[in-house]
């Protein structure tokens, strides 16, 4: 199939594109290559997708992958691209990520996560795309403290603008599924980590700091729990959903609505490891992989953060026959091996 992937130079976008190409799909990737974090890492990911050794000028997958530098807010550019390539499936991973950055630059979230996402919905509608799969986030659960988080839970109390925009994405998608019969599937990712990860995420920052001998900042004095999910498990879930588009829930009851399904062709799934891990255990796994103890600075909880996350992945398992299960110790070790190789650390 011809699949358009937005945010293709991102952490998840790169891994997903490589897997789709290996499965024989054609991938059209778009990314604006913004400078929210190191652009050279994004370019290296693009090189990795094409199988191009850095600086070689060679593309080992010339007929399967094409890249377009494009912003989701550029509706005219997106319209031209959709009309030209006519994608059958769209996987929207482009977004302004991060919780703390939203305190400094809220408009970046409105532009990318709301305006840009609406452009994608409109183009999927008018180009009669077979289905839209899009990234949501565990951040939508906000004040919810019922563990593990279920798609059936109410998610009306996000704690940060990022989570609010992701909840808005789910609502916008539902209206398009209902009005225009566009199958849409929202994926609530839980703390994704692994090789080629984002430099603003804890694992990346902690690894660099420990190697450099500088302190790592640990919020809420270490009393944090996260459902850390290895990148390969995320990709496996997304790829399986390509072959299982959203359909109406025949058992949906409007008088007692299920928050994760609908009478429209709209579905929401958690993709998490289902094994919440205390942050201090995560750090211990990293210290073990690096063979070096971290210098720790303990700080209060940051605005917009939650104390714990935990994913109920039963619905994903029922829908596609897969539930993430990579142990944290294994995933962290693979990240450290990649990090040392990529940054040429002996």
Q: Please give the positions annotated as active site.
A: 162
Question: Which H or E run contains 82?
Answer: helix 75-85
Rounded distance between C-alpha atoms, residue 50 and residue 59, angstroms: 5
Residue 219 tokens read as 């919020």
What residues contact residue 331 under an 8 Å CB cut-off, 6+ apart? 193, 194, 228, 230, 231
Residue 243 tokens read as 């072959």
Rounded distance between C-alpha atoms, residue 127 and residue 124, angstroms: 5
Rounded distance between C-alpha atoms, residue 238 and residue 105, angstroms: 30
Q: Are residues 335 and 203 in contact, defined by beta-carbon separation less than 8 angstroms?
A: yes
- The set of long-range contacts for 202-208, using a CB threshold of 8 Å and a minimum separation of 24, is 202/279, 202/282, 203/282, 203/286, 203/332, 203/335, 204/339, 206/283, 206/286, 206/294, 207/286, 207/290, 207/335, 207/336, 207/339
Rounded distance between C-alpha atoms, residue 84 and residue 170, angstroms: 27
CA distances (Å), 285 to each of 74, 260, 331, in order?
Answer: 43, 34, 9
Query: Does residue 148 have a cis peptide bond before it, meaning omega lies within 30 degrees of 0?
Result: yes
Q: Is the dihedral of CA 225, 227, 232, 238 positive or negative?
A: negative
Q: What angle do CA 248, 19, 326 make, to 5 degrees?
A: 80
DSSP code for 218: E
């Amino acid at each position: 199939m011809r699949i358009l992937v937005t945010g293709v130079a991102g952490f998840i976008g790169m891994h997903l594109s490589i897997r789709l190409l290996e499965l024989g799909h054609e991938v059209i990737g778009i990314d604006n290559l913004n400078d929210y974090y190191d652009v050279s890492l994004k370019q290296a990911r693009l090189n990795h997708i094409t199988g191009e050794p850095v600086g070689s000028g060679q593309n080992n997958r010339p007929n399967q992958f094409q890249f377009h530098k494009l912003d989701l807010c550029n509706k005219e550019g997106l319209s031209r691209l959709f009309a030209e390539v006519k994608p059958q499936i769209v996987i929207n991973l482009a977004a302004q990520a991060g919780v703390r950055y939203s305190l400094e630059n809220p408009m970046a979230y409105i532009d990318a996560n709301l305006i840009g996402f609406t452009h994608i919905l409109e183009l999927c509608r008018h180009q009669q795309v077979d289905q839209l799969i899009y990234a949501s986030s565990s951040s939508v659960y906000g004040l919810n403290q019922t563990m593990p988080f279920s798609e059936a839970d109410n998610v009306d109390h996000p704690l940060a603008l990022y989570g609010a925009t992701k909840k808005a994405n789910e609502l916008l998608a539902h209206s398009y599924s209902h009005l225009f019969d566009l199958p849409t599937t929202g994926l609530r990712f839980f703390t994704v980590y692994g090789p080629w990860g984002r430099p603003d995420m804890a694992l990346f920052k902690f690894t660099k700091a420990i190697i450099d001998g500088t302190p790592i900042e640990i919020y809420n004095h270490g009393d944090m729990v996260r459902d850390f999910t290895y990148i390969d498990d995320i990709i496996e879930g997304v790829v399986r959903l390509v072959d299982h588009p959203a359909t109406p829930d025949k058992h949906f009851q409007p008088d007692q609505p299920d928050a994760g399904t609908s009478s429209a062709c709209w579905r929401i799934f958690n993709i998490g490891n289902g094994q919440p891990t205390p942050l201090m255990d995560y750090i211990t796994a990293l210290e073990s992989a690096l063979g070096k103890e971290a210098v720790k600075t303990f700080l209060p909880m940051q605005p917009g953060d939650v104390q714990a996350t935990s994913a109920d992945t039963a619905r994903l398992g029922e829908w596609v026959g897969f539930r993430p299960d990579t142990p944290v110790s294994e995933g962290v070790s693979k990240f450290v091996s990649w990090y040392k190789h990529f940054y040429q650390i002996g």
